[in-house]
A and B are shown apart, each in its own frame.
Chain A
Amino acid sequence: MEPLTIVYLVYTFIAFYFLFIYILTYSQNRKQIYEVIKPDRNYPLSIVVPCFNEAKSIGKTIEAILNSDYKGLKKVIVVDDCSDDNSYEIIKKYAKKFPRVMAVQTPKNTGNAAGAKNYGAKFVKTELIGFSDADSFPKKDAMSKMVGFFNDTKTGAVTSRVLVSNRENKISKVQAIEYKIIAFTRKLLGFLESIYVTNGPLSIYRKKAFDQVKGFDEKNLTEDIEITWNFVSKGWKVQMAIPAIAYTVVPDNVKTWFNQRIRWNVGGLQTISKYRSQFRETGMLGLFIMPFFTLSWILGLTGLFFLAYRIFQYVVVKFLVTKYSVAANVALIAAEDFNMNPSILFLFGMLLFVLGLTYTLTAMAYSREKDFPKHPLRDIFIYSIFYLLMYPPLLIVAFYKFIKGHNTW
């Protein structure tokens, strides 16, 4: 057997393994995916909203939070991180109008969301502390559907399902699909106690746990991933309430999208690097989350390498054959060029693709929305084939930036 065949088989094996973990978790827990737990009491909750130059959306975000039907919501602390626009004026107006809203400003710009979040957390006196991005809009019932998970005293964090609010162009439409798949996958990981991120648009933490992990790491570009790993490493459970929805604004052009994804990936690498010693531990962080995260990276990078190598070879050979065939005046395509005997690797690849597509369609079926039209099949195919291919190149750029010590938003 050729070395390349062995690499393909190992690659396929790992991909099948992860896919079956998801499929089995889904089939064994499908009735609980939408489960909402009734809270034993109204846990007092404060929401912190970090804001930097979000004059366009901050008002809508505050209104969405105030519109919540959760009776335990005590305070909405909106932290202006020394914006250059008039965000702080808007926040103060809301604070004047609504007693539950508190307007605060950091002494100087912290340079990242984590700094503003930690600053706001200092003003929180409630049992639960939540965070929402300034361009995100939690649904009315989102918080009330999350707090029930805190009945379990071991639960340190509960995250929501993030969906896309702006769907005007192709890139935002494809992200709308991506966010649904991410949410569905994260819920499945929740059944395995392996949620590795509590999102920025809406997550609620037990204040005791938040204080224990000393808040967000301001040096990490993805403070929401880092704090989640920190919770898990300290033995706290992290849950996800899929019926709790928070809408968010996603990048609508390639440049912004690319920069956001680079930040996510560099932050992911920073987190792996920070917790690398936990690999040897037997908790879910060392047992699954870290290997899963790291393997995803390795698979993405090796997959890209092999794909690029095969495509390069194929394209160059085809180009030369065409060039020489034209010069020789022979047929460009002959019947012999078509092989009707597929290899086992091809069949494995097809099976993997079909299972992956079925998984995507299942996730989509679980995420139907009343307020938005259904996603056309064309967009699902664009996501499944072309969009996912963008991930590995991002990993390479992110890896380079990580090595170079990139640490700015």
Chain B
Amino acid sequence: MLKSKKHVFWEALVITIAIFLVGLFTGILVETGNSNKISNLYIQSEISLVDGTAISQLSKDSELDCDSLRKNNIDFANKIYEEAKLLEQYETAGKLTDGMKLLHKKYDLLRTLLWMGNQNSLDRCDNYHLIVYLYEYEAEEIEKKATQKVWSKILLDLKKEDPNTLLIPIAADQEITSLNLLIEEYKINSLPALIVNNKDVLYTIKNTQNVKDLFNN
């Protein structure tokens, strides 16, 4: 006669818990590793920014040439842009820990500092264009999500077409006080928004030409 094997319920429970714990532990380990990797990159970027700020300071006091200034700013912006892409990938994959969200906020602060640092530089040197892209980090509306994705593509195309463009994407809903003050200063009333050369604010863009037209103003 077949023997009842009810102990299987406990065994299955133990195996499931074990697999889950191993999975969760591995997941947390991987996410922490990613977080550490981004943290290291952030520290390097922070050093570069401080260096860049020092250069900006020098440019005010001395006759530092605009080409060096432009090159420094654009290289730095490109660097943190690449890091942001990696951060975004890790962020999408990260489900268990909130470390990435915090790092994202730190990067937004770093980019705000870069924007602030360029307020003076752009006044003195007009050999590059500055585009600040303010977007909503936790966009819930489907329409807004889609719009932001397309804006990113348009701006990336623009940057490829004109390497002298300094693109600074910043999540504007991160509760960063200095950023909020700047947003207030530019009277930004909805997101996403684009600030071109610290002068013009755009709330709708259909293609790269919309922005290029403003470069020539």
A152 to B2, CA, bound (A): 10
| A residues less than 8 Å from B145 (CB atoms) | 317
Report the nearest A residue to B27, measured CB to CB. Answer: A344
A392 to B85, CA, bound (A): 38
The answer on a CB contact under 8 Å between A328 and B206 is yes
The answer on a CB contact under 8 Å between A16 and B16 is yes
The answer on a CB contact under 8 Å between B90 and A191 is no
A20 within 8 A of B: yes
Residues 11-41 of chain A, each 1 if its beta carbon lies under 8 Å from chain B, else 0 = 0010011001101110011001001010000
Q: How far is the CB of A180 from chain B (nearest CB, A)?
A: 21
The answer on a CB contact under 8 Å between B34 and A341 is yes
The answer on a CB contact under 8 Å between B156 and A334 is yes
The answer on a CB contact under 8 Å between A17 and B149 is no
Given known pairs A16-B19, A288-B9, A325-B150, the reply for A344 and B2 (CB within 8 Å) is no
A407 to B182, CA, bound (A): 67
Chain A interfacial residues counted at CB < 8 A? 48
Q: Is the interface of A mostly helix, strand, loop or mixed?
A: helix
A347 within 8 A of B: yes
The answer on a CB contact under 8 Å between A324 and B13 is no
The answer on a CB contact under 8 Å between B157 and A330 is yes
Residues 3-40 of chain B, each 1 if its beta carbon lies under 8 Å from chain A, else 0 = 01110110111011001100110110011001000000
- Selected contact of A331 from candidates B9, B85, B153, B207, CB within 8 Å: B153
The answer on a CB contact under 8 Å between B1 and A152 is yes
The answer on a CB contact under 8 Å between B143 and A320 is yes
Which residues of A pack against B, CB within 8 Å? 1-2, 5, 9, 13, 16-17, 20-21, 23-25, 28-29, 32, 35, 37, 151-152, 190-193, 239, 288, 313, 316-317, 320-321, 324-325, 327-331, 334, 336, 339-345, 347-348
Q: How far is the CB of A320 from chain B (nearest CB, A)?
A: 3
Interface centre among A151, A288, A341 (most CB of B within 10 A): A341
Give 12 CB contacts A-B under 8 Å: A191-B4, A193-B6, A316-B146, A325-B150, A328-B150, A328-B205, A328-B208, A330-B157, A336-B85, A336-B152, A340-B89, A343-B92
The answer on a CB contact under 8 Å between B96 and A5 is yes
The answer on a CB contact under 8 Å between A341 and B143 is no
| B residues less than 8 Å from A327 (CB atoms) | 206-207
A192 to B6, CA, bound (A): 6
Residues 135-152 of chain B, each 1 if its beta carbon lies under 8 Å from chain A, else 0 = 000000011011101101
Given known pairs A17-B12, A20-B15, A24-B11, the reply for A330 and B153 (CB within 8 Å) is yes
Given known pairs A320-B143, A341-B92, the reply for A35 and B16 (CB within 8 Å) is no
Report the nearest A residue to B143, measured CB to CB. Answer: A320
Given known pairs A20-B12, A191-B2, the reply for A348 and B23 (CB within 8 Å) is yes
Would you list the 8 A-B pairs with minimal beta carbon distance, nearest first? A344-B27, A320-B146, A20-B12, A341-B93, A324-B150, A330-B153, A21-B12, A343-B93
Q: How far is the CB of A7 from chain B (nearest CB, A)?
A: 12
A26 to B215, CA, bound (A): 71
A342 to B34, CA, bound (A): 12
| A residues less than 8 Å from B98 (CB atoms) | 1
The answer on a CB contact under 8 Å between B95 and A343 is yes
The answer on a CB contact under 8 Å between A341 and B89 is yes
The answer on a CB contact under 8 Å between B16 and A17 is yes
The answer on a CB contact under 8 Å between B95 and A5 is yes
B192 within 8 A of A: no
Report the nearest B residue to A22, measured CB to CB. Answer: B12
Q: How far is the CB of B65 from chain A (nearest CB, A)?
A: 34
A37 to B1, CA, bound (A): 8
| B residues less than 8 Å from A343 (CB atoms) | 27, 92-95
Given known pairs A35-B2, A288-B9, the reply for A1 and B96 (CB within 8 Å) is yes
B110 within 8 A of A: no
A348 to B19, CA, bound (A): 10
Given known pairs A17-B12, A347-B23, the reply for A192 and B146 (CB within 8 Å) is no
The answer on a CB contact under 8 Å between A339 and B207 is no
B154 within 8 A of A: yes
Interface centre among A37, A325, A343 (most CB of B within 10 A): A343
| A residues less than 8 Å from B4 (CB atoms) | 191-193
Report the nearest B residue to A15, measured CB to CB. Answer: B16
A276 to B4, CA, bound (A): 25
The answer on a CB contact under 8 Å between A192 and B142 is no
Given known pairs A20-B12, A25-B8, the reply for A317 and B95 (CB within 8 Å) is no
Given A191-B2, A191-B8, 4 other A-B contacts at CB below 8 A? A5-B96, A21-B8, A317-B142, A328-B206
